[in-house]
Structure 1
């Protein structure tokens, strides 16, 4: 605890109002403090793994370019071969398999990618043939993943971050981390700011924002570093939590349903071509030229028709610039652009969703995005480690090797007025429905806490007061903020 005389004892109750009632925050603070403790101890390991693996993923584009340079880059050498010829060479490489799409080379040193949806490929994985656009040499064949076209090195780190290479079961870890991150961050920020507001004297703002400012060595400094750093990271942590849940199994499904009901989904071009002539194909070169004339510049993916009367679709796939996401449908028999969807016409929420996902992946604006994510993820790792340091420093006795910090004493929920109890329960029920893994894990926390309380009453019956409540000694320095 802070030994200075101008700092109140961390567990001292907030003063009552003139009418004898306690303020809303004074009533809720003990409950939030106890919840923050349990989430910090039991959920923080999942958050830590997600932060470390995410930090590794941030810089995988550079890793990919270094590891797979022979497939990605070529030496300039005159004019490009016709695109249909490059596709023919790739088809021959895979014994006549039919390609699903092609990503033409854009820069003078880029290779062309011809993508195949083979029966043996996993969901969102495609077999890709890399072709030198100048001489038609096949540079390699490998599996790529997702819209970003991630190569094996990048995909491995992506799957580590997403599911620890454990499939759908492993995705629960990342969803649990994303589901709790916003709650832990908001609760921690509220506790830290409220502690700063209770301080008297000058320098309160400095101590609020500067890690370790004005504190003595020991747990007081750990609390300051943990709280101030977390406050600086708050916006970034909320962003990572919200965007991370969009990929999750259960919360992500609820988010998708909400977007559909509110018409926030991403629009798509129509794949129906009226009066099309089946079997007539102007060729991929003409289709690409039509798309360029329609304004689809930069890196694009040309998808081949799956039906003889269906059109080609051309989509911009460079996510480093926030407006390069246009798409067009082009008639296979005439090369005419029959439908275009401009990113500028997206609903606002669809735009925000697109930008949010790209920023979460570190591709929006390139290196600046990566630097920001590195700072946030690195800061999160530090906050988690300082939190565990605080937990250790709060152990009841230095003489017990297994002694660790205890949570805020029980009874905070029972002490709430009935309207507040009803409000807390309603919020938890709605949150648990919208974010299922948070709700399930919170129920587990509550069940364990009830069992521990029951065990404590059974083992120490003489410690109960006339009301039947166990008199727990307050944890040493139990103010987590």
Structure 2
């Protein structure tokens, strides 16, 4: 949930009609502290969430956008009875694209074309993909891709991740993900006591109370109940977004390594030496570039993979260096996922190493599945619809939050103000000692694990202290000026 004051607020001063709700009780110190934090964090973080929701909403339509823009390259007009050997398809791709080194080959199935991926030094982390009709061997087109993503998907992905501002832009999405879970949980904690006292009021935990007069209370009902409905989904987006953010994601990867829960690496050495460990998984799969090989080897390696039980769509990556094994990885990201991988000796046609998804550590499995669901590819169109609903709902919650801020502005002639005042301070001073003893170390630990949360929270505290000092000085100056006027 975003900007609001879910506890201890009051209607606009100009309101004449009595509200149907009972007067708000004095909030507890915890509620007062959460209300002030929710208010300030909502106001300052909501713009980041707004951008993340809009760009995420745009990203949800990428499968349909790809088909509309690149359907001629990605799919074939007619599905044949039998695909041609990979050797012919790779040869056709190489003829159409004589530069670069083949990094991976993803054989087409059904109406999907075969993708032959070329690495080139001048493209950086991007690659060049040639699309071949698997039934005719005809080259359907070429695109500059990024870990398998088309140019349109790559552009929208970059917009959502960093606004095309590089590492600087990644901070915006990390701030949004770092605070989203705080706003959601804080909003639920504040909303729950207001609506859980009686059965008649409890139903409005999930349904806004439309019997109240129009104004801040009705807006708050829409804001809060919508946030409750979205809570699980928003918490999921926050957690999965943090796993591959810049700083929090690095800490998450280090934690997986420390727990030995990272995705297992597969050895491509033919002598059985173990592979180097890796601290995480990129959101898209990728293959390393290898030396040019006999095109017939692709068919031999594919046959070995099929014999080893790797069904469905697979990606074949040549050896990074001569004398090393090739890798074959399943690439079916829809549920149930198929993510098994093997290493193959291309000369002997034997499996030299294997890594099955079922054998991954549980945290590695959950991280992989969570990222795929965050990207909208785990459950197909259903996944896209759910993500779009979450994005639209979050946009509504943000708009209602800002509307409440405006509705709570004083409107009396002698107290007119453009916006509502923040909730009263003093909640921290009222907390019991044991709450501070537990809360401070936990907050510091969370701030260390989520650096942008810690930095911005510290900024909120500094600003709040400055505002408090200014307010106290103004209050002390009022009696002085009044007495001098009287005298």
Shorter-chain TM band: 0.7 to 0.9
Q: Which residue of the partner structure matches residue 190 of structure 1?
A: 189
1:80 aligned onto 2:79: no
Unaligned runs of 5+ in 1: 15-25, 465-481
Over residues 421-468 of structure 1, what are the superposed CA-to-partner deviations in whole Å (9 max), with x where a residue is unaligned? 33332222111101100110111111111112222233332469xxxx
| Relative contact order, higher structure (CA 8 A, sep 6+) | 2
Q: Which residue of the partner structure matches residue 453 of structure 2?
A: 438
Tell me: CA distance 1:401–1:111, structure 2 relative to 1, closer, same or farther (3 Å): farther
For 1:169 and 1:36, the matched residues in 2 are separated by: 26
Over residues 191-214 of structure 1, what are the superposed CA-to-partner deviations in whole Å (9 max), with x where a residue is unaligned? 0102213x5x55112211102443
Question: Contact 1:91/1:98 (CA < 8 Å) preserved in 2?
Answer: no
1:429 aligned onto 2:444: yes
Question: Contact 2:21/2:212 (CA < 8 Å) preserved in 1?
Answer: no
* Displacement of 1:82: 1.9
Q: 2:117 aligns with which of 94, 115, 118?
A: 115
1:267 aligned onto 2:264: yes
Tell me: CA distance 1:398–1:308, structure 2 relative to 1, closer, same or farther (3 Å): farther
1:97 aligned onto 2:96: no
Q: 1:50 aligns with which of 30, 45, 52?
A: 52
For 2:293 and 2:37, the matched residues in 1 are separated by: 65
Question: Contact 1:279/1:309 (CA < 8 Å) preserved in 2?
Answer: no
Unaligned runs of 5+ in 2: 1-9, 12-16, 274-290, 480-487
* Displacement of 1:65: 1.1
For 2:225 and 2:99, the matched residues in 1 are separated by: 61
Over residues 176-231 of structure 1, what are the superposed CA-to-partner deviations in whole Å (9 max), with x where a residue is unaligned? 0000000000000110102213x5x5511221110244322111100111111111
SS in 1 for 2:121: coil
Greater shift after overlay, 251-260 or 423-432?
Answer: 423-432
- RMSD, aligned CA: 2.4
1:253 aligned onto 2:255: no
Tell me: CA distance 1:402–1:118, structure 2 relative to 1, closer, same or farther (3 Å): farther
* Displacement of 1:402: 5.7
For 1:169 and 1:216, the matched residues in 2 are separated by: 45
Q: Which residue of the partner structure matches residue 208 of structure 1?
A: 205
Q: Which residue of the partner structure matches residue 172 of structure 2?
A: 173
Question: Contact 2:20/2:213 (CA < 8 Å) preserved in 1?
Answer: no
Q: Which residue of the partner structure matches residue 376 of structure 2?
A: 362
TM-score, structure 1 as length reference: 0.87
For 2:80 and 2:204, the matched residues in 1 are separated by: 62
* Displacement of 1:8: 3.6
Q: Which residue of the partner structure matches residue 3 of structure 2?
A: none
Question: Contact 2:315/2:330 (CA < 8 Å) preserved in 1?
Answer: yes
Question: Contact 1:396/1:404 (CA < 8 Å) preserved in 2?
Answer: yes
Q: Which residue of the partner structure matches residue 13 of structure 1?
A: 26
Q: Following TM superposition, where does structure 1 have runs of at least 4 consecutive aligned residues deviating by more than 3 angstroms?
A: 1-8, 76-79, 278-282, 398-402
Q: Which residue of the partner structure matches residue 141 of structure 1?
A: 142
1:394 aligned onto 2:388: no
Tell me: CA distance 1:240–1:416, structure 2 relative to 1, closer, same or farther (3 Å): same
Q: 1:449 aligns with which of 452, 459, 464?
A: 464
